[in-house]
Amino acid sequence: MKALGCHLLVEYYGCDENILNNAPRIEEAMTEAADQSGATIVNSIFHLFNPHGVSGVVVIAESHLAIHTWPEYGFAAADIFTCGDKVIPEAAIESLHKALKAASRQCKEIPRGPQSAGRIRSCGASSKP
Amino acid sequence: MKALGCHLLVEYYGCDENILNNAPRIEEAMTEAADQSGATIVNSIFHLFNPHGVSGVVVIAESHLAIHTWPEYGFAAADIFTCGDKVIPEAAIESLHKALKAASRQCKEIPRGPQSAGRIRSCGASSKP
């Protein structure tokens, strides 16, 4: 059986700290990323933590996009879970990279579903500060 | 630097198909899993798809829990992202296993954050039907 879903885990380094601590900006970035990937947005939640950091999730018809930010490290951890062939998750990754003004990123691709366990590969740009 | 977060990806096999297609039951299972792990729930979204399948996310103060179900395969893909030492994600994994009436599961643990890329290990029960 083909994997049912594709789960991409992306670490963004050297991001703009002010953007990482701005919940509306992160929501805008995530919504734009979902749109760029061709996903259909179902619902979303964004939350600004005290003293800092944003968590946000966009549920899409094809699964989800999530992000957690650490402004104090200029770091954001995103994950993009997609099903089917319609969505292009790489477009979401690139869109987020630009929106967060990231210096670099690392990405892992993990197939999800029966028969897919154990297959993990790196993808995309892999330079790290 | 220590990893900022711990991301557990869990594949549940042989689950109860009726539970997997019942959004309120999945929401209850995910909320209970978050509670069992000691997490603080911030907000949540659950969605029943047509013709079948549920997607749901619980945003917690310590990051998130997400699930996507395929009732037709008795399969659910969950991911549990936690930060700090307060939450015990293994308790959420075990709680979900019982709630979904899963026959078995596979789990991968992926540290998130600067310096943590590349370290991936299997965890928990690994039998697969």
ipTM of the complex model:
0.88
- pLDDT-based confidence at residue A114 (cuts at 50, 70, 90): confident
- Give me the residue from A7, A9, A68 closest to B63, CB to CB: A68
- A11 vs B114: CA distance, rounded Å: 8
- pLDDT-based confidence at residue B127 (cuts at 50, 70, 90): very low
Is residue A68 predicted with pLDDT exceeding 70?
yes
Is residue A1 predicted with pLDDT exceeding 70?
no
Query: B113 vs chain A: nearest CA distance in angstroms?
Result: 7
DSSP H helices, B1-129, are 17-20, 23-37, 89-99
Q: What is the pTM of this model?
A: 0.90
DSSP conformation class of A24: H
- pLDDT-based confidence at residue A30 (cuts at 50, 70, 90): very high
Instruction: List chain A residues with CB under 8 Å of B107.
Output: none
Is residue A127 predicted with pLDDT exceeding 50?
no
State phi, psi for B22 to the nearest 5 degrees: -120, 100
Q: Determine, for residues A57 and B59 on separate chains, whether the beta-carbon distance falls below 8 Å.
A: yes
Q: Determine, for residues A114 and B120 on separate chains, whether the beta-carbon distance falls below 8 Å.
A: no
- Give me the residue from B59, B106, B113 closest to A47, CB to CB: B59
Task: Count CB atoms within 10 A of the CB of residue B96.
Answer: 27
**Strand-pair category, B41-48 with B54-60:** antiparallel
pLDDT digits (tens, 9 = 90+) for B69-121: 999 999 999 999 999 889 999 999 999 999 999 999 999 999 999 865 555 66
Catalytic residue among A7, A64, A68, A97: A68
**% residues pLDDT > 70 (chain B):** 87
Higher-scoring residue by pLDDT: B46, A127: B46
User: CB of A32 within 8 A of CB of A39?
Assistant: no
